[in-house]
Amino acid sequence: MSALPASTLLAAAAQFGTPLYVYQADTIRAQYQKLTTAFSAHPTRFFYACKALTNVAILKVLLAEGAGLDCVSINEVKLGLHVGFAPENILFTPNSVAFEELVEAKDLGVNLNIDNLSLLERFGATFGGSYPVCVRLNPHIEAGGNYKISTGHIDSKFGISIHQLRHLERVVKGTGLHVRGLHMHTGSEIKDLSVFLRVLDVIFEAARRFPNLDFLDLGSGFKVPYKPGDPETDVNGLGQQVAAAFKEFEHEYGRPLEAWFEPGKYLVSESGYLLVEVSTVKHTTATVFAGVNSGFNHLIRPMMYEAYHYISNLSNPKGPERLYTVVGNICETDTFAWDRLLPEIHEGDILAFHNAGAYGFEMSSSFNSRLRPAEVLLDGEQPPRLIRRRQTFEDLLAGQL
């Protein structure tokens, strides 16, 4: 968990108003460097899973670091190209998309990761081996902090089942497809390295059936701490184990294989804060509610995934700690935190939700006709820069006929 000084965050809140997303570029760079250093023993590429946060200023920070981009929709692909990512540094990993969307991405020249046998068969029948592809497999490995963010399990819609390898081979041989990569992404927030190592075993086993591979993509699952003392994926340990496993497998396979990863949360989560203002403090027979000028329209992770977001009271950091239930102003149950010990809260105080960089603004909406927050980037010694203006009432009407 990284923490910007309260004075820096309060100054941003004063300058740009609340609710406000604030991101620190240096944290993103440091996370990227941690990964590249940890995996330096083997040729490894990192594709930022931009669904976590697509603001173009953030994409530019990662482009400058040398990252690639993992995209899950054609519009994310177009955003990446718009920002300047080369097509070969973009990986398109959609699911449940129409064939036409896949062809549109092919025409843009990006790497395709196909997760469905019927699409793969159609792609092979249309293009044969003229456009190499990656195939997304589902290893049926249970992983991740929460069933909703786990993608490799038996009920998951993602990928082609590892039990369908025989069918997959038939489709590849029958259509002359050129498979240059295999992919597995088992989910988010994997603490236990043994999960990655089990995925490695399964992907190597599958790779033996495809002789023309250039890379194996192990997806993501890098966990970051959400509160003091919370564990983080041991990327250095993982980097060493992956390098050793790849070396051994390459020896048998007879060709070099790059390792690819698609971290989202790991790169941007800790860089971000959602700053909100306390509108009301309400004592009920059950608890004390601190009601803030935000809700699940701005940060849905606590309500959708029961995610824990550390909260600090920037206005009264040294106040006596008291028990609060922190809620939003949406006409729905939008509880950010139950029974949270926080320095005494007064109406008008500014609170910060930490780890708000990933799946924060990106999952926001204008539910209740409330406006989306502004976004600000802090970069080194430069003055804070507004990278998305706050929505206005006119934005709510825009597009309505």
Ligand X SMILES: *Cc1c(COP(=O)(O)O)cnc(C)c1O
Mind telling me the catalytic residues? 331
**Closer residue to ligand X (CB): 24 or 233:** 233
One-letter amino acid of 138: N
Minimum distance from residue 352 beta carbon to ligand X (Å): 21
x-or-dash pattern for ligand X, window 222-251, by CB under 6 A? x-----------------------------
Minimum distance from residue 51 beta carbon to ligand X (Å): 6
The values of phi and psi at residue 91, to 5°, are -115, 125
3-state secondary structure of 130: coil
**What distance in Å separates the CA atoms of residue 91 and residue 94, rounded to the nearest whole number?**
10
3-state secondary structure of 20: strand
Of 377, 68, 356, 379, nearest to 224 by C-alpha is 356
**Binds ligand X (CB under 6 A): choice among 9, 52, 141, 224:** 52
Paired residues of 160 in beta bridges: 137
Q: Provide the Cα torsion 391, 397, 400, 401; round to 10°.
A: -150
364 binds ligand X (CB under 6 A): no
DSSP H helices, 271-346, are: 301-305
8 Å CB contact between 186 and 219: yes
Residue owning tokens 């708000």? 356
**Binds ligand X (CB under 6 A): choice among 19, 264, 272, 373:** 264
For 55-72, give one letter per residue: b (16+ CB within 10 A) or e.
bebbbbbbbebebbbbbb
Minimum distance from residue 145 beta carbon to ligand X (Å): 9
**What distance in Å separates the CA atoms of residue 150 and residue 182, rounded to the nearest whole number?**
19
Among 96-104, 168-176, 259-267, 338-346, which window interacts with ligand X (CB under 6 A)?
Answer: 259-267
Among 194-202, 260-268, 280-288, 296-304, which window interacts with ligand X (CB under 6 A)?
Answer: 260-268
Footprint of ligand X on 167-196 (CB under 6 A): 185, 188
Among 35-43, 44-52, 232-240, 313-321, which window interacts with ligand X (CB under 6 A)?
Answer: 44-52
Minimum distance from residue 105 beta carbon to ligand X (Å): 14
93 binds ligand X (CB under 6 A): yes
DSSP 286: S
45 binds ligand X (CB under 6 A): no
Minimum distance from residue 267 beta carbon to ligand X (Å): 8
**Binds ligand X (CB under 6 A): choice among 80, 152, 159, 219:** 219
Q: By CB under 6 A, name the binding residues for ligand X.
A: 49, 51-52, 70, 72, 93, 185, 188, 219-220, 222, 262-266, 358
